[in-house]
Amino acid sequence: MADPLERYYRILNGKERARYMSLQATRSDFRPEQKEDDLWSTHEREIRETLGRPQSREEEKGVSGMEARNLLDLKSELAHRMLGHCYICEWKCGVDRTGGRKGRCGVLDARISSEFLHYGEEPPLIPSHTIFFSGCNFKCAFCQNYDISTNPSGGSCISPERLAEIIARRFDATAGSGTQARSTSNRVKAANVNWVGGDPTPNLAYIVDVLRHLRTNIPQIWNSNMYMTERSMDLLDGIVDVYLTDFKYGNDFCAERLSGVKEYGRIVTRNHERAARNSELIVRHLVLPSHVDCCSIPVMDWLAEHLPNALVNVMDQYRPMHRAFEHDDVCRDLKREEYLEVKNHAEDLGLHLVD
């Protein structure tokens, strides 16, 4: 089979641009005073034309002129409109987050818990410049990052311009000049930007604004539970190079009981199929104790039927944390034989597994 991350590697090798850079280089004819529905119509037309047009690095032309607007500007305008009656994730709270009202996620201003080069991700992604946001639209009983996900007011506010500078420096290991260049020449270069949390979804508008200020050819990784609306997926189209997803459950009952979300299967399978059509995809599945038959096996079966070319990571890192001890089924460590049953099933299905 073809390499599931072929395009990602081409970006790393300088043979293609990260997708967001093509949007920066494409003029948009929208006007900020347009109604939201009209902006979406413009977006649908322009993104279809842009993504359907082959474009090499040499052929891309930047948008010139102080008044010129590009497709990332249009996505930013739409993302901020969505915040005004929030429908970014599938809770569709409808609150005006720009006016200080909190929805299910509790996120107002984007707050960053930490950002650093991460070596614990999948081998093709390391070292990954992970940017951890505070807050999440899930309430997972067993969350291993619960100190981040349950505290949306934690962390620090960093301006989009400043974060773009930080990303550029992490990517350019020899940034600076003179003494500074000599002192940074041995730094490790980031392979990608990894938007994570909590979950990045509530911070979509902020992330788009960061990319408007970034001029670095670095792949964008969307590390998410994938519980976002179709409109949010529309905005991510043309931005994300690799989706790094959590596919947690094989049924709605377990999803609602352990993560507090409704209609999990319909929403997450829809978004996985959309992600695979538009970008490259790595699917993570954390095997939960006592959930092999109800969740893990059905997830592997669904992936084999619908996304056989995706890269899949069957994970055995489960440890009971946070509120896991409130649930008899997940209050213990994962047994080795449970993990092997799932992994062997995935191999029998012919899934492309992370080494």
Domains and CATH numbers, the chain: 6-16+109-353 (3.20.20.70)
- Contact between 223 and 128 under an 8 Å Cβ cutoff? The reply is no
Q: What is the pLDDT of residue 99?
A: 94
Query: Contact 316/339 with Cβ under 8 angstroms?
Result: yes
Query: Which pLDDT score is estimated for 241?
Result: 98
| H-state helical runs in 225-312 | 230-236, 252-259, 264-278, 297-306
Closest to 181 (Cα-Cα) out of 191, 171, 172 = 172
pLDDT at 68: 85
Q: Find out whether 296 and 329 touch, Cβ atoms under 8 Å.
A: no
- Cα radius of gyration (the chain): 20
**Cα–Cα distance list, 320 to 88, 143, 249, 326 (Å):** 30, 9, 17, 10
For residue 333, the model assigns a pLDDT of 98
In terms of Cα–Cα distance, which of 274, 270, 267 is closest to 91? Answer: 267
Question: What's residue 234's pLDDT?
Answer: 98
Q: How far is CA 93 from CA 37, 105, 106, 176, 327, in A?
A: 19, 9, 11, 45, 28
Per-residue confidence in pLDDT tens, the chain, 355 aa: 679 999 999 999 999 999 999 999 999 999 999 999 999 999 999 999 998 876 544 444 555 444 689 999 999 999 999 999 999 999 999 999 999 999 999 999 999 999 999 999 999 999 999 999 999 999 999 999 999 999 999 999 999 999 999 999 999 864 443 333 334 445 789 999 999 999 999 999 999 999 999 999 999 999 999 999 999 999 999 999 999 999 999 999 999 999 999 999 999 999 999 999 999 999 999 999 999 999 999 999 999 999 999 999 999 999 999 999 999 999 999 999 999 999 999 999 999 999 8
Give the dihedral of Cα atoms 182, 188, 193, 194; nearest 10 deg.
-140
Sheet holding 242-246, edge to edge: 112-118, 128-133, 192-196, 220-224, 242-246, 280-286, 311-315, 352-353
Provide the residue type at 271 as one letter: N
pTM comes to 0.93
Phi, psi of 262 (to 5 degrees): -105, 155
Which residue from 301, 287, 298 is spatially nearest to 338, judged by alpha carbons?
A: 287
Q: At 220, phi and psi to the nearest 5? A: -105, 125
- C-beta of residue 87 within 8 angstroms of C-beta of residue 79: no
Q: Which amino acid is it at 28? A: S
Report the length, in residues, of the chain.
355
- Of 349, 324, 143, nearest to 248 by C-alpha is 143
Q: What is the dihedral of CA 8, 14, 18, 19, to 10 degrees?
A: -90
- Burial class, 172, CB count within 10 angstroms (exposed 0-12 / middle 13-18 / buried 19+): middle
**Do residues 282 and 243 make contact, with C-beta atoms less than 8 angstroms apart?**
yes
Q: Residues 80-88: contacts with CB within 8 Å, 24+ apart?
A: 80/205, 81/36, 81/39, 82/204, 82/205, 82/231, 82/232, 83/205, 87/229, 87/231, 88/201, 88/202, 88/204, 88/205, 88/228, 88/229, 88/231, 88/232
